[in-house]
Structure 1
Amino acid sequence: MIEDGKKAVVQAGRREFLPIALLGGAAGAAWVFLALAGEVVEGEMRAFDERLLLALRTSTDSSNPLGPPWLEEVGRDLSALGGTGVMVLLVVSVTLFLALARRQAEAMTLTAAAMGATAIELTLKGWYGRPRPDLVPHGARVFTASFPSGHATLSAAVFLTAGALLAHAEPDLRLKVYFSSLAVLLTVLVGASRVYLGVHWPTDVLAGWVLGAGWAATCWGAALWLGRDARSRRNDRGL
């Protein structure tokens, strides 16, 4: 009985603390993004971006990324994971599954993460209007401005939110770690592929990661907070 009581207290403490921690992390991410954006606008990151971008190209021909030809093809495949088509298919499929499973709150959280991230990154692209890298030929077609990276932003928001949803629903610690790690790995691979293909400056991707992770934390924190309030109202009514 005592042990059960201790576990209940710990779980209640986590439910209270986690939303606050997530929203605090989102505020920190916003600060980091604005600081990085300021450096980019002032041109302070140009030398860093150029060095890293050229380091991923052969010294004799900047049109060739480092590594064998198949590695460039892998880079395109990884990049496609963060593209609009794949993301729309993924979000719609998972959202429909969650809705059919009567997990509407989680479905709304994932939808908000995807739609919000898309709106935010497109707005910021228009605001900053940073040109795409001009040092190397692009390994993929591009249609929008460079800062922040849309692929990095959207993949971070969607993968991290989906990973959090899966980890939260799974009682096994090993599976929690697996889902969380997989979400982070996919996010990193998509962003890194954009730099490797020469379609983004490294700071575009860094900003996208920060922005997407911050928005994912906002959505997840808000969902937990609203869920907590809903449980409190049910308890007050004796349900």
Structure 2
Amino acid sequence: MAVKATPSGAAPPGRSAPPLVVVAVGLGFGLLVLLVRLHLEPVMSVDRGVARELNEVVSPRSYLVNALNGITRLGGRPIMLWLVGVAAVLLLVRRRLRLAVYLLASVAGGLLLDPSVKSLVGRLRPVVEVPVAAASGNSFPSGHALGSMVVYGAVLLVFLPAVRHRKLFISAIGLIVFAIGVTRIALGVHYLTDVLAGWLLGALWLSVTAYAFRVWRREAGRPVAPLDEGLEPEAAEAINRVPDSSRPIPHRWVTATEILTGWVFTFGILYVVGYLLKNHTEGTWLGRFDDGVVRWLQTFRAPTLDDVSWVWSKAGDTHAMLAISLVFCPIALAVWRQWRPVVFVALAMVGELTLFLCTAAAIQRDRPPVAQLDGPMSTSSFPSGIAATMCIWAAIAVLIMGRVRSRWRWVAVVLAVVMPAGVALSRMYRGMHHPTDLFGAAILTALWVGLLWWVLRPNVRAAPAEVRR
């Protein structure tokens, strides 16, 4: 009987995946399901004992609870969906459609497996003496353990070829997945067997999807490499973050000194302006204008405008700005393959935050003397926090205008004007700021973003050694 030839370098089908490992993982998961469904007392006793002892250790220590909650968020859907979304966009930008499809399909399958198995097993969550966390739905298997194994495991298999220190990368991913699972037990929202089942089911699903991807490659006539080289070793150069290993910013100490000096001067100007507004405008035309504009806006208050202003205000808060940064920076890195734009945006946000906090603490200006829709606020009114909105959109506009030639680049300029304007108007409407507080935010943005543009030259495309000095 003739043997079908395989493409050069391709592994035979029987050796394209470690079947014994897959079978062992599957049997382990099946055994856990059986033990939990049968309510065997030895297993139940161990589960309850571990939950009780960890609760006794964790519940009296608030700092430990906070640390565990911070770690467990790494396995929550918001962070993992952000990670998968950014990774998928990066792969599509680099024209690695197969890897993007694999990543999305693996994660989608994991999302479907979690509620399906939970409903089939129907296990209730642990009951501990001092609850420190809450979770909805059934307990078996742990969704955080399953999701983190699938998401971080899929990211590992996709990006492993581009990693220099592979053992360190694999160890870091394994530590993250392990830590997430442990936090679910320590917080009292899952039993030990729930987490073990989540890990096993996640590993089983990853094995199945990895095998399917390797079969896909073999049918396309491509060699199948060992899994410790990643799913697609030849993609290393394409998915590498920044192939140029040179420093993103030349003369770093000189640059840091310039930026620090500029920060001090910017803070000094903001302090002088804020001090004058707080102590020398009461009873003047400027003071009357400040209060008059806010009072005039109160006359338009209505339920619909209250809701619209709330949405606009939230669009400029810290969480929104952080989300925009976490989406824009990885995409910019994928498209332009330079660290300079990312450093520019990161420093814009860090500098804005520190300038805002220091100036607000030094000035302590009262809020407008009107009813505030968001309740009394004890923080300083000057400068307005919309400086964060101004800085992020201004920084994005600077980069896009300098690097994109399409006429659609003007959309970035429009957003840099419309978004801060909407946030500013909504916050005055809600009684949070005077017009001059917004003027302070504009000063902060203009000085700080302008300084960073001058020092960093974020749109320079030449090699670092050729940059202005």
Normalised by the shorter chain, which TM-score bucket? 0.7 to 0.9
Give distance in 2, aligned partners of 1:192 and 1:229: 40
What is the letter of the counterpart of residue 96 of structure 1?
Answer: V
Higher relative contact order (CA 8 A, sep 6+): 1
Q: Secondary structure, in 3 states, of the residue corresponding to 2:123?
A: coil
1:122 and 2:122 correspond: no
Q: Does 1:50 align with 2:48?
A: yes
1:180–1:12 CA distance, 2 compared to 1 (3 A): farther
1:65: how far off?
Answer: 1.2
Shift of 1:107: 1.0
Q: Secondary structure at the match of 2:158?
A: helix
- Using the aligned pairs only, state the percent identity: 27
The Cα of 1:136 is off from its aligned counterpart by: 3.7
What residue number does 1:204 align with?
A: 194
Q: Which residue of 2 aligns with 1:5?
A: none
Say if 2:162 is the partner of 1:170. Answer: yes
> Are the structure 2 counterparts of residues 12 and 66 from structure 1 closer, same or farther at C-alpha, using a change threshold of 3 Å?
farther
Q: Secondary structure at the match of 2:47?
A: helix
- The aligned counterpart of 1:29 is 25
Change in CA separation of 1:136 and 1:81 when aligned onto 2, cut-off 3 Å: farther
Cα separation, 2, equivalents of 1:56 and 1:143: 20
Describe the shift of the 1:210–1:112 C-alpha distance in structure 2 as closer, same or farther (beyond 3 A).
Answer: same
1:82 maps to: 75
Question: Which of 145, 162, 171 pairs up with 1:181?
Answer: 171
Q: 1:33 to 1:98 in 2, by over 3 A?
A: same
Which of the numbers 99, 105, 110 marks the counterpart of 2:98?
A: 105
Distance 1:182 1:19, change over 3 A: farther
Q: Judging changes above 3 Å, is the alpha-carbon distance between structure 1 residues 127 and 91 closer, same or farther for their aligned structure 2 residues?
A: same
Question: How far did residue 20 of structure 1 move?
Answer: 2.1
Q: For residues 83-102 of structure 1, give each alpha carbon's deviation from its aligned partner in whole angstroms, at most 9, with x where no partner exists.
A: 11111111111111111111
Specify the SS of the correspondent of 2:221: helix
Indicate which of 16, 21, 24 corresponds to 1:19.
16
Q: Structure 2 vs 1, CA of residues 41 and 86 (structure 1 numbering), >3 Å: closer, same or farther?
A: same
Match of 1:3 in 2: none
C-alpha distance in structure 1 between counterparts of 2:11 and 2:179, whole Å = 31
Which deviates more, 176-185 or 92-101? 176-185
1:223 aligns with 2:220: no
The two structures, once aligned, show a CA RMSD in angstroms of: 2.3
Secondary structure of the structure 2 residue equivalent to 1:94: helix
CA contact (8 A) 1:166 1:179 kept: no
Question: In 2, Cα distance between the equivalents of 1:136 and 1:203?
Answer: 20
TM-aligned CA deviation for residue 27 of structure 1: 3.2
Change (3 A) 1:193 1:155: same
Q: What secondary structure, in the 3-state scheme, does the structure 2 residue paired with 1:87 have?
A: helix
**1:143 matches 2:128:** no
| Pair 209,83 (structure 1): closer, same or farther in 2 beyond 3 Å | same
Cα drift, residue 24 of structure 1: 4.6
Q: 1:154 Cα deviation (Å)?
A: 0.5
Match of 1:190 in 2: 180
Q: Is the 8 A contact 1:158 1:216 kept in 2?
A: no
Rounded Cα–Cα distance in structure 2 between residues aligned with 1:171 and 1:94: 15
- Per the TM alignment, residue 108 of structure 1 is displaced from its structure 2 partner at its CA by 1.3
1:171 & 1:190 partners in 2: Cα distance?
23
- Tell me the distance in 1 between the aligned counterparts of 2:168 and 2:215: 25
Aligned partners of 1:26 and 1:215 also within 8 Å? no
Contact 1:153/1:209 (8 A) holds in 2: yes
Which residue is equivalent to 1:40?
36
The 1:46–1:106 alpha-carbon spacing in structure 2 relative to 1, beyond 3 Å, is: same
Contact 1:15/1:228 (<8 A) preserved = no
Could you say which structure has the higher helix fraction? 1
**Structure 2 Cα separation of the partners of residues 148 and 189 of structure 1:** 16
**1:171-192 CA distances to partner (integer Å, 9 max, x unpaired)?**
74xx221221122111101110
